[in-house]
Amino acid sequence: NKCWGSIIVEDKLPPILECEDFSIGCNQNLDDIIFDVLFSGTEVSADVADGASWGNETVTFDYPIPVNVNFPGIAAITDVNMFVDVSTTWTADLEITLTSPSGTNVILWNNLCGANDDIVVQFDDDGGPIACGNPTQGTYSPSEPLSNFNGEQAGGTWNLRVQDQVAADGGSVNSLILEVSWAQIYPGPVATDNCTVVSLTSQDIEDEGDCSGDAGKVTRVWTAVDQSGNSATCTQTITILRPSLADVALPVDYDDVDAPSLDCSGSPWDTNGDGYPQVGEVDGPTV
User: Domain extents for the chain?
Assistant: 16-32+191-245, 38-185, 248-287
Q: H/E element holding 108?
A: strand 105-110
State the Cα–Cα distance between residues 139 and 282, nearest whole angstrom. Answer: 42
Is residue 19 within 8 A of residue 189, CB to CB? The reply is yes
State the Cα–Cα distance between residues 118 and 142, nearest whole angstrom. Answer: 16
Report how far Cα 58 is from the mean position of its chain's Cα atoms: 35
Per-residue pLDDT of the chain (287 residues; tens, 9 = 90+): 788 888 888 888 999 999 888 877 776 666 655 555 567 789 999 899 888 888 888 889 999 999 988 765 678 899 999 999 999 999 999 999 999 999 999 999 999 999 999 999 999 999 999 999 999 999 999 999 999 999 999 999 999 999 998 887 889 999 999 999 998 777 778 899 988 889 999 899 988 877 677 778 989 999 999 999 999 999 999 888 877 776 666 667 777 777 777 677 666 677 777 777 776 665 555 54
Q: H/E element holding 127?
A: strand 119-128
The torsion angles phi and psi of 193, rounded to 5 degrees, stand at -150, 135
State the Cα–Cα distance between residues 262 and 269, nearest whole angstrom. Answer: 8
38-185 domain in CATH 2.60.120.260?
Answer: yes
Return the closest-CA partner of residue 81 out of 60, 95, 98.
Answer: 98
Return the closest-CA partner of residue 143 out of 94, 78, 176.
Answer: 94
Is residue 131 within 8 A of residue 139, CB to CB? The reply is no
Query: Global pTM?
Result: 0.63
Give the right CATH number for 16-32+191-245 from 1.10.8.620, 3.30.460.80, 3.30.420.40, 2.60.40.10.
2.60.40.10
User: Cis link prior to 187 (omega < 30° from 0)?
Assistant: no
Q: Do domains 16-32+191-245 and 38-185 have the same CATH topology?
A: no
Is residue 75 within 8 A of residue 182, CB to CB? The reply is yes
